């Protein structure tokens, strides 16, 4: 009888013999050896593999027979006793399954060997055909036919051998089972009736025994004071998305303030949908310019409608809504005046409505970007900010804490700067010639950096630590970022007009200020990222923290990209291209919008007691993020190539044709972003809707309490 090590060596030889023909064919394809000798070795390899397979199967069968004959009488008797002692239907099924596996195991081995052999022969033919263009013996049709004719009877013989061996193994197995059945019958016949009945009764009692499920707990009802046993919630389905942590219940705020904040957010979401729908249509017009021929829907009129609606309608109202929550919260006092909040809301909404109608009718300021509203319209917006500033300052003055938290620094300063730059932009004293151009750069960049960015950073300094349930990493870094942003950001407006007729020294000052912006950006990013220290695991279980994290990433990358754009060498390539469009969306959308969404998703459950469906929140997040990447990355690539084409002196129309596919990606990305806003609006609706499920326990307690109060009085 062969040992186990011998089987291992035989298997190794068999595998090697199966791959031996492939090696020979590969060598024959190189043209270095003699074709006739190679063919002979191939045939010998095939025959060797077949002989080894036959030898292995023969040894396996012989060993099975030898092992069967080598059993002793005592061992057989012990085995029969074990049959009787452990007789059960479950064990019989297991034994039959094991026997079935043993039966199919040998067949699988033989089948595997045949497949490997055929695969090796097939691979050799393929390898032999890759030997270049030189004539090879194995590429001759006659040789291939000859090899095929030789292999056909060999493979047929292998198939017949497998069938014969399978039948032999099956007969051997049946013979052994019959012998064991006869031996078991003889053994049972030797037992007395009393013994047989006793054994069978024991088996029946063992098989019929079932636990009562009260062996450990007993018959008494458990004392479950904490509801750990009787109040367990179980899931009857597999969740489609990973469940997120629910918002913690916070102390209720003034219902009037809550209503005011919800109106701010609702109006902001309306302008988001309106403004981005206009933007979606503009993106389509890049691909299909002749979609309409109406003057009110022309690109020149709709583009400022889009930008001003999302600037002054969506982002401004969203920030102010969150500000009305944060300022009294960190001041630990009530908002000074609810009425001022309502007046500011109506004034700003009126400004956006009137401004939109004026722009579509062709009535505009005739100035630069983002100040297309005529001055009476923008005056309404400014009055709304004045009321808000007074309201916030009065609230902070009534604070019950000694210090002014850094969030209020950022928020109040943002409103001050917004009023300042608006007044500077619309005072007509210097609105002529280069003065207007310089003021345009100042206004445009301060609007983004000192109004939107400063305000949203104040939101993050409150909401991010609150969502992580740990303090901001460094208060000092926050103060450093605050003052350096005020110092450098107010200098960089004219970097949009490099190589213009603006004085060279003023352009240089803007470039230096842009370089200085690295300080507040790195300080703020470090502060936010380090606040996650020790709490990174919370990101996976939260639906607000991913929005914060994406906003922080874009805050760093988008701001540093703005610094890179300010240099004269890069300005020479990117200026007047769609690279600036990609950059503006990377910052205003990637930073401002994601921070606003994060804040709203964190605040709304505290105001309404409801949370949005996690599936639609996830859809909103991923559609917005992927859409932004589809929008910005192709535009940046295409614009870089377009700027280089201009430097090379290519015709302008050629660069327009070059940008067509990148504008298509812009439309695709914008469509995904617009779709994400619909999900966001739906989530907002779900969080403010009044449809509620009846909680029987809560309702019963309320009725009982009402009855008790009525009885007492």
Contact 312, 268 (CB under 8 A): no
On the question of pLDDT at 506 being above 60, the answer is yes
The lowest-confidence range among 76-80, 261-265, 596-600, 670-674 is: 76-80
pLDDT in tens, 131-142: 444 555 555 655
Half-sphere exposure of 647 (CA within 13 A, CB side): 14
517 near 559, Cβ under 8 Å?
yes
Q: 351 vs 187, which has greater pLDDT? A: 351
| Cα 419 from chain centroid (whole Å) | 39
Backbone angles phi, psi at 473, to 5 degrees: -60, -50
Compute the residue count for the chain: 713
What is the distance between the alpha carbons of residues 540 and 615, in angstroms, rounded to a whole number? 14
Decide which of 3.90.1640.20, 3.60.15.10, 1.20.120.1200, 1.20.210.10 is the CATH code for 450-713.
1.20.210.10
Give the C-alpha distances (Å, rounded to integers) separating 333 from 264, 324, 403: 20, 12, 13
* Residue 534 tokens, joined: 């020790």
Q: Is 213 exposed, middle or buried (0-12, 13-18, 19+ CB in 10 A)?
A: exposed
Q: Is the dihedral of CA 101, 105, 106, 110 positive or negative?
A: positive
Please give the pLDDT value at position 245: 74
**Alpha-carbon torsion 322, 472, 538, 620, what sign?**
positive
With 90 as the cut, is the pLDDT of residue 485 above it? yes
Q: Do residues 384 and 325 touch, judged by C-beta distance below 8 A?
A: no
Distance CA 143, CA 140 (A): 5
Q: DSSP letter for 578, please.
A: T
Structure tokens belonging to residue 100: 């079935």
Helices 338-360, 316-331: crossing angle, 10 deg rounding = 170
What does the pLDDT read at residue 112? 46
Closest Cα partner for 550 from 603, 611, 484, 601? 601
Highest-scoring range by mean pLDDT, 30-44, 241-255, 600-614: 600-614
Cα 309 vs. chain centroid, distance in angstroms? 29
Question: Which pLDDT band holds residue 232 (cuts at 50, 70, 90)?
Answer: low
Domain segments of the chain as ranges: 4-208, 257-404, 450-713
pLDDT score at 121 = 44
Q: Which of 418, 238, 209, 235 is nearest to 311 (CA)?
A: 418
Helices 406-426 and 454-468, interaxial angle, to 10°? 160
pLDDT at 23: 41
Give the CA count within 13 Å in the CB-facing half-sphere of 677: 27
Model confidence at 82: pLDDT above 50: yes
Over 90: is that where the pLDDT of 622 sits? yes
Separation of alpha carbons 34 and 29, rounded Å = 10
pLDDT at 273 over 50: yes
Q: Which helix (H) or strand (E) holds 285?
A: helix 255-287
Cα separation values, 214 from 43, 45, 230, 237, 510, Å: 72, 69, 16, 28, 80
Residue 15 CB contacts under 8 Å (≥ 6 apart), including other chains: 116
For 7-23, give one letter per residue: b (16+ CB within 10 A) or e. eeebeeebbebbbbbbb
Residue 101 clears pLDDT 80, i.e. is over it:
no
Pick from 316, 270, 327: which is nearest to 684 by CA? 270
Grade residue 333 by pLDDT with cuts at 50, 70 and 90.
very high
Of the listed ranges 178-182, 352-356, 413-417, the one predicted with least confidence: 178-182
SS3 content of the chain, % helix, strand, coil (to 5): 80, 0, 20
Q: How many angstroms separate the Cα of 654 from the Cα of each of 198, 571, 657, 661?
A: 100, 21, 5, 13
**Mean pLDDT value of segment 316-322:** 97
Q: Where residue 592 falls among pLDDT bands split at 50, 70, 90? A: very high
Average pLDDT over residues 375-399: 96
Q: What is the SS3 assignment for 690? A: coil
Average pLDDT of the chain to the nearest whole number: 79
Q: What's the confidence (pLDDT) of residue 117?
A: 43
Q: What's the Rg (C-alpha) of the chain?
A: 41
- Rounded CA separation 163/219 (Å): 62
Instruction: Please report which confidence band the pLDDT of residue 494 belongs to, taking 50, 70 and 90 as the band edges.
Output: confident
Q: Across residues 274-294, what is the average pLDDT?
A: 86
Check residue 320 and give its pLDDT. Answer: 97
Cβ distance 352 to 406 under 8 Å? no
pLDDT at 500 over 80: yes
**CA–CA separation, 609 vs 76, rounded Å?**
74
Mean pLDDT of 474-481: 93
pLDDT at 243: 73
Candidates 183, 182, 55, 65; CA nearest to 110 is 55
Dist CA 36 CA 595 (whole Å): 76
Average pLDDT for residues 251-272, to the nearest whole number? 92
Which of the residue ranges 148-152, 425-429, 666-670, 699-703 has the most confident prediction, judged by mean pLDDT? 666-670
239-261 confidence digits (pLDDT tens): 667 777 777 666 678 899 999 99
Rounded Cα distance, 212 and 675, in Å: 57
Which pLDDT belongs to residue 216?
A: 76
């Amino acid at each position: 009888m062969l040992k186990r090590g011998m089987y291992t060596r035989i298997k190794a030889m068999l595998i090697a013999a199966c791959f031996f023909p492939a090696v020979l064919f590969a060598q024959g394809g190189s043209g270095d050896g003699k074709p006739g000798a190679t063919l002979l070795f191939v045939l010998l390899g095939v025959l060797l593999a077949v002989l080894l397979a036959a030898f292995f199967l023969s040894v396996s069968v012989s060993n099975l027979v030898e092992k069967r004959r080598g059993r002793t009488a005592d061992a057989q008797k012990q085995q029969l006793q074990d049959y009787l002692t452990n007789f059960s239907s479950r064990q019989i099924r297991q034994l039959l399954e094991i026997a079935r596996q043993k039966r199919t195991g040998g067949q699988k081995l033989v089948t595997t060997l045949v497949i490997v052999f055929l695969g090796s022969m097939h691979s050799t033919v393929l390898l032999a055909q890759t030997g270049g263009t030189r004539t090879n013996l194995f590429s001759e049709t006659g040789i291939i036919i000859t090899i095929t004719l030789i292999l056909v009877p060999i493979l047929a013989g292998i198939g017949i051998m497998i069938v014969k061996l399978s039948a032999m193994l099956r007969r051997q197995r049946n013979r052994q089972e019959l012998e064991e059945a006869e031996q078991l019958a003889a053994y049972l016949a030797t037992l007395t009736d009393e013994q047989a009945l006793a054994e069978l009764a024991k088996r029946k009692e063992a098989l019929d025994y079932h636990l009562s499920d009260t062996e450990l707990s007993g018959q008494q009802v458990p004392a479950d004071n904490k509801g750990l046993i009787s109040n367990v919630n179980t899931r009857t389905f597999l969740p489609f998305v990973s469940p997120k942590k629910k918002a913690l219940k916070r102390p209720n705020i003034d219902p009037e303030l809550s209503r005011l904040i919800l109106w701010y957010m609702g109006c902001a979401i309306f302008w988001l949908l309106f403004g981005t729908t206009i933007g979606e249509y503009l993106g389509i017009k890049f691909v299909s310019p002749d979609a309409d021929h109406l003057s009110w829907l022309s690109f020149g009129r709709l583009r400022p409608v889009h930008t001003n609606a999302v600037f002054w309608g969506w982002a401004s109202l969203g920030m102010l809504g969150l500000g009305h929550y944060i300022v009294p919260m960190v001041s630990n006092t009530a908002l000074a005046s609810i009425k001022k909040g309502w007046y500011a809301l109506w004034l700003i909404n009126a400004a956006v409505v009137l401004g939109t109608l004026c722009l579509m009718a062709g009535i505009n300021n005739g100035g630069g970007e983002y100040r297309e509203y005529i001055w009476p319209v923008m005056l309404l917006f400014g009055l709304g900010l004045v009321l808000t500033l007074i309201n916030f300052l009065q609230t902070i003055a009534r604070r019950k804490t000694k210090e002014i938290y850094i969030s209020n620094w950022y928020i109040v300063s943002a409103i001050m700067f917004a009023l300042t730059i608006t007044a500077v932009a619309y005072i007509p004293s210097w609105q002529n010639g280069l003065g207007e151009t310089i003021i345009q750069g100042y206004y445009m960049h301060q609007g983004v950096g000192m109004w939107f960015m400063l305000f949203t950073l104040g939101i993050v300094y409150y909401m991010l630590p609150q969502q992580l349930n740990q303090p901001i990493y460094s208060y000092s870094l926050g103060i450093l970022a605050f003052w350096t942003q005020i110092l450098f950001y107010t200098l960089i407006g004219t970097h949009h007009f490099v190589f213009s007729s603006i004085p060279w020294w003023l352009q240089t000052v803007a470039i230096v200020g842009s370089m200085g912006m690295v300080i507040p950006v790195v300080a703020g990013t470090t502060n936010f990222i380090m606040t996650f220290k020790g709490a990174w695991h919370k990101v996976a279980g939260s639906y607000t923290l991913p929005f914060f994290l994406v906003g922080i990433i874009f805050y760093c990358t988008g701001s540093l990209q703005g610094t890179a754009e300010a240099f004269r060498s890069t300005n020479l390539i990117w200026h007047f291209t769609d690279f600036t469009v990609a950059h503006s969306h990377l910052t205003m959308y990637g930073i401002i919008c994601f921070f606003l969404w994060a804040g709203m998703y964190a605040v709304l459950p505290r105001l309404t007691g409801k949370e949005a469906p996690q599936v639609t929140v996830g859809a909103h997040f991923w559609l917005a993020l992927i859409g932004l990447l589809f929008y910005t990355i192709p535009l940046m690539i295409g614009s870089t190539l377009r700027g280089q084409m201009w430097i090379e002196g290519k015709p302008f129309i050629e660069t327009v044709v070059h940008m067509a596919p990148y504008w298509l990606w812009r439309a695709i990305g914008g469509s995904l972003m617009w779709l994400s806003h619909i999900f966001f609006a739906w989530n907002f609706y779900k969080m403010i809707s009044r449809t509620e499920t009846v909680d029987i326990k809560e309702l019963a307690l309320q009725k009982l309490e009402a009855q008790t109060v009525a009885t007492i009085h």
